Amino acid sequence: MKLSVAATTQALSPDTVFRLLERVREKAPRVHTITNAVAQSFTANALLALGAVPSMTIAKEEVAGFAASADALLVNLGTLDEARRAAIPLAIEAARSAGKPVSVDPVFVNRSPVRCAFARQLVEAGPDLVRLNQAEFDALFSDRSDADTLISEGTVFAVTGQVDLIESRGEDFRLLNGHPLLARVTATGCAGGAVLAAFAAVEEDTALAAACGLSVFNIAGEIGAENSGGPGTLVPELLDALYAMSARDIEMRLGAG
């Protein structure tokens, strides 16, 4: 079952992408990130290079306070251990009560029925943003109408692949940036999800925030790949590209339509 953008697909302006990137740099939003053990360091460094601030506690005694006081919450299911499973509902409830955007990244739900059932509960509650690939989307939604209902209620889906699709009840986007080398380094998708959450923290239009955040991360991946010798040097080059990204970089490279 394919998720396909509607006829309302909009072009994405390089000026808009850079304007939102500058807003992230100016406001330095804190993203509370519950993510997998492999991704924590890379995700934190990606947020810092972008200009945002990471926090990552999963202690049930304090996670609600961290989530409520953050500017956005990201829940990544890459490591669904007992501590994270207990912390996630507390963090989501606190973020929602405080009016902060909630993003869910249902990593590998297509590999585990237990994880898929847990993720389905989170997604059915209507987070602001769900970032996933096509296989994960298909595992969560055997009936496309269930996803359509969530979209009509305000949830935005960012479906990554060779072409990235952003679908919402407003504007939709097709995004063409990225590089194959990103798939050769662990946690690039997880770090990219955190970048989307940072953009959602400073832009009320979640679909636009997701489109801009994904474009910035993938353009950084292109620049990093071109400057690296392979996977071992991609990460530092990608972080440098996030840190130094200019309006010219975006204007020259943005692929959207």
Mean pLDDT of 54-59: 98
Give me the pLDDT at residue 1, please.
Answer: 38
pLDDT score at 5? 46
**For residue 102, what are the contacts with CB-CB under 8 A and spacing of at least 6?**
72, 73, 75, 92, 95, 96, 127, 128, 129
pLDDT of residue 2: 47
Report the pLDDT averaged over residues 79-90: 96
In the three-class reduction of DSSP (H, G, I as helix; E, B as strand; rest coil), residue 97 is classed as helix
Q: What pLDDT, in 10s, does the model give residues 124-133?
A: 999 999 999 9
- On the question of pLDDT at 17 being above 50, the answer is yes
In the chain, the percentage of residues whose pLDDT exceeds 90 is 92
Residue spans per domain, the chain? 14-253
The more confidently predicted of residues 171 and 89 is 89
Cα–Cα distance between 216 and 157 in angstroms, integer? 17
Question: In the structure encoding, which two tokens stand for residue 186, read together?
Answer: 């662990």
Q: What is the pLDDT of residues 38-52, one digit of tens each?
A: 999 999 999 999 999
pLDDT at 10: 62
pLDDT of residue 180: 95
* CATH topology assigned to domain 14-253: UDP-N-acetylmuramoyl-L-alanine:D-glutamate ligase (3.40.1190)
CA 237 to CA 251: how far, in whole Å? Answer: 20
Q: Residue 99 is encoded by which pair of tokens?
A: 């009016």
pLDDT at 162 > cutoff 70:
yes
Helices (H), 143-228: 144-152, 188-202, 206-227
Q: What is the DSSP letter of 184?
A: G
Mind giving me the DSSP string for 213-247?
A: HHHHHHHHHHHHHHHSSSHHHHHHHHHHHHHH--H
Encode pLDDT of 90-111 as tens digits.
Answer: 999 999 999 999 999 999 999 9
Contact 56, 68 (CB under 8 A): no
Asked if the model's pLDDT at residue 3 lies above 80, the reply is no
pLDDT at 171: 86
Cβ contact 194:31 at 8 Å:
yes
pLDDT tier for residue 11 given thresholds of 50, 70 and 90: confident
Q: Using one digit for the tens of pLDDT, what is the confidence trace for 209-220?
A: 999 999 999 999
